[in-house]
Amino acid sequence: MCYCQINDFAKAKEEMKIGIVCYPTFGGSGVLASELGLSLAKEHEVHFISYACPVRLQAHNDRVIFHKVDVPPYPLFEYSPYTLALTSKIIDVMEHHRLDIIHVHYAIPHATSAYLAKKALHGKVKIVTTLHGTDVYLLGLNPSYKSIVEFSMENSDSLIAVSEFLKKETLEKFSITRPIAVIPNFVNPEKYKRTGRGKEKIICHISNFRPLKRVADVVQIFGMIVKERDCRLYLVGEGPTRHPAQKLVEKLGLEEKVCFRGNVGDVSKILGKSNLFLLPSQQESFGLAALEAMSSEVPVVATRVGGLPEVIRHGKDGYLAKVGDLDTMAEHCLKILTNEGLAKKMGREARMRVLEKFATEKVVPRYVSLYQKTLVS
């Protein structure tokens, strides 16, 4: 067992013991789970369970307990059975720490493992499952997984979607009777805020560089912008489309203006100095990176897909366009980059949007309330 340990938990009046299962990577679900756990740990006992310590916890290793899932190699298996190893670890943590709630992020395989663990312990824990997007409209619809994803959602004690869009998608594509609560992603406005900005305009894109993120579109849009306005592009993240994006940058002769930053543990410093955030995704269930930009007073130019219109108000704190409409997105970007008054106004509106609806103190209590209702249901 690997520890990011807390020695003395502050005893709250209704303190709960909460287990959080998530992917430890830089993706939105892992970020949201980590920030939620850190917030909950102020008043509750929080245990993270994953195959590695989530990146957002590594700088806060005195606030939560981390339990590492080990998957020992065995010659019989062509693929390591992570789902079973995770189930065993959840059982172990449940037994030793008497958890009240297991909150899993992503239906597959986390909700399945939590269900198996609950059955092994004869129902001594409640399961809360948060759906983040690709577990519904990508992996969840794959014939190899759909039946077990549907079963795991139906057998969770509570289901959460991060947007109204994702709730609608789930109810349309799966035969489940379990009600779905919508609790949006959130951001800490004390961490994500505007910092000093230099004379050079900075455009930023942050993602896991999967095909759905359309990073090539980011590069092509930037190629149009830089012809009209001197600026620089920061591409933050890693993934399968990074190499093709680098080749496109070279083809367009943009090497001197594009910086590939790789995975960054704390993106708040980059966003705090940025002037524009670009997100031309094929699909987004919510768009947590866009929310972090908005909190930093950075206008967002994005596609009108998924849950993004629930976050970004077109013409007020950013602009929305059709997927693949690169000309329109470039025009929107240039409006912001060439009009300082508009850029500041949109930035202020974006941060006010976060403070009013998506700040930590607005959203985390909704999770606590749902946990409490789940425990008595």
Q: Which of 261, 335, 345 is nearest to 298 (CA)?
A: 345
| pLDDT score of 60 | 55
Residue, of 18 and 78, whose pLDDT is higher: 18
Band of residue 179 on the pLDDT scale cut at 50, 70, 90:
very high
Check pLDDT > 80 for residue 205: yes
Domains 17-186+359-376 and 201-358 share a fold: yes
pLDDT tens figures, 289-340: 999 999 999 999 999 999 999 999 999 999 999 999 999 999 999 999 999 9
Write down the H helix ranges in the chain: 28-40, 82-97, 112-120, 134-137, 146-154, 164-173, 215-226, 242-251, 268-272, 288-295, 308-311, 326-338, 340-353, 360-376
3-state percent helix, strand, coil for the chain, nearest multiple of 5 = 40, 15, 40
| pLDDT score of 9 | 33
pLDDT tens figures, 224-267: 999 999 999 999 999 999 999 999 999 999 999 999 999 988 89
What are the residue boundaries of the structural domains of the chain, listed by start? 17-186+359-376, 201-358
**Residues paired with 314 in a beta bridge:** 318
CA dihedral 214, 215, 219, 222 (to 10 degrees): 80
Could you tell me the two tokens for 374?
């789940």
Could you tell me the two tokens for 25?
């990577």
Q: Which of 28, 238, 35 is nearest to 132 (CA)?
A: 28
Residue 224 CA, distance from chain mean position: 29
Q: Supply φ then ψ for residue 153, to 5 degrees.
A: -65, -45
Contact 272, 300 (CB under 8 A): no
CA distances from 104 to 94, 128, 138, 245, 364 (A): 14, 6, 18, 33, 16
| pLDDT score of 127 | 96
Q: What is the Cα–Cα distance from 88 to 111, expressed in whole angstroms?
A: 13
Residue, of 216 and 77, whose pLDDT is higher: 216
Check pLDDT > 50 for residue 11: no
pTM listed for this prediction? 0.90
pLDDT tens figures, 35-92: 999 999 999 999 999 998 887 776 555 668 999 999 887 777 777 788 999 999 999 9
Band of residue 2 on the pLDDT scale cut at 50, 70, 90:
very low
pLDDT tens figures, 229-241: 999 999 999 999 9
Give the domain 201-358 fold.
Answer: Rossmann fold (3.40.50)
Q: Tell me the angle at which helices 112-120 and 146-154 cross, rounded to the nearest 10 degrees.
A: 50
Which segment of 27-31, 154-158, 191-195, 285-289 scores lowest on mean pLDDT? 27-31
Q: 88 CB contacts (<8 Å, ≥6 apart)?
A: none
Give the domain 17-186+359-376 fold.
Answer: Rossmann fold (3.40.50)
At 247, the amino acid letter reads K
Q: What is the mean predicted confidence (pLDDT) over 264-285?
A: 94
